[in-house]
Copies of this chain bind each other. A is one copy, B any other.
Amino acid sequence: MAPRTRAEALSRERIVEAAVELLDADGERGLTFRTLTERLATGPGAIYWHVPNKGALLDAATASVIAAALTVDAGRSPQDEIRAIGLSLFEAIESHPWLSPQLALQLSRSPRGSVTPRIFEAIGQRVSALGIPENTWFTATSALVHYVFGAAGQNAANSRVLGPGVDRAEFLRAAANAWEDLDPAEFPFLRSIADEVREHDDREQFLTGIELILAGMTGGSRRP
């Protein structure tokens, strides 16, 4: 993490880029105005000239990573593209775990922050191509987006715990073992699925969840 000598002039893009690198390297706590100024070989005042505050900087970092994740190849069906977008977001959050709480905050802020609207738009376009009634589009899209965020968030949290040194299979095994040791009276369900936890594949499970929602949307019964 050697401080870089200032070749080019400072710019909003260079600041955001450096912020993403710091976040990727050390998580939320890796990004402070001290680490940032050191990395960019400048002072805090210079950064405040380009960015109004730290929140805006986090927003910009989030937007730049998500925008890249939302561009996926054309698929052979809307369903395929929904799977592709979901998986792309899933992987983006997996490799940038700091995105998860950030997205949770972004989710609101009305339609101001451009991130959530873009995700809604990307998935909604495919939902509207599924051939389901127009008055179900909004709800169906919301369900998909919420599921993706929830699932990806959990996964991000896992990969955060894992860290660089920890083996994934090892981690799952330990978690499953811990669940098996829980009080049978209080946690019968967790004990019953411990075996499955040990062997499951995150990505596959994520996609199966999308499948559940797609099945409910296109084939399932509607609520009375």
Q: What residues of chain A have their CB less than 8 Å away from a CB belonging to chain B? A: 100-101, 104-105, 107-111, 117, 120-121, 124-125, 127-128, 134-135, 137-143, 145-151, 153-154, 156-158, 160-161, 171, 174-175, 178-179, 182, 186-190, 192-193, 196-197, 200, 205, 207-209, 211-217, 219-223
Determine the distance from Cα of A125 to Cα of B145 in the docked complex, in whole angstroms.
26
Closest Cβ of chain B to A166, distance in Å, is 11
Q: Is the CB of A143 within 8 A of B104?
A: no
Determine the distance from Cα of A137 to Cα of B188 in the docked complex, in whole angstroms.
13
- Copies of this chain, complex-wide, total 2
Residues of B within 8 Å of A187, CB to CB, are: 117, 121
Residues of B within 8 Å of A196, CB to CB, are: 135, 137-138
The prevalent SS among residues of A at the interface is: helix
Which of B138, B150, B192 is A146 in contact with, Cβ under 8 Å?
B150
Q: Is the CB of B209 within 8 A of A158?
A: no
Determine the distance from Cα of A27 to Cα of B214 in the docked complex, in whole angstroms.
36
Closest B residue to A191 by CB, please name it. B121
Which of B104, B117, B124, B186 is A104 in contact with, Cβ under 8 Å?
B104
Q: Is the CB of A215 within 8 A of B209?
A: no
Q: What 4 new A-B contacts, CB under 8 Å, besides A108-B156, A137-B192, A142-B151?
A: A104-B157, A110-B178, A117-B182, A215-B215
Determine the distance from Cα of A137 to Cα of B205 in the docked complex, in whole angstroms.
11
Q: Is the CB of B216 within 8 A of A213?
A: yes
Q: Is the CB of A120 within 8 A of B190?
A: yes
Known: A101-B105, A107-B153. A211 touches B223 (CB 8 A): yes
Known: A110-B174, A157-B105, A179-B111. A209 touches B121 (CB 8 A): no
Q: List 30 A-B contacts (CB under 8 A).
A: A100-B104, A107-B153, A107-B154, A109-B157, A110-B171, A111-B175, A111-B179, A120-B189, A121-B189, A125-B188, A134-B192, A135-B196, A137-B192, A137-B196, A138-B197, A138-B205, A141-B193, A143-B147, A146-B153, A146-B154, A146-B209, A147-B147, A149-B150, A208-B223, A211-B220, A212-B220, A213-B213, A215-B220, A215-B221, A216-B220
Q: Is the CB of B143 within 8 A of A212?
A: yes
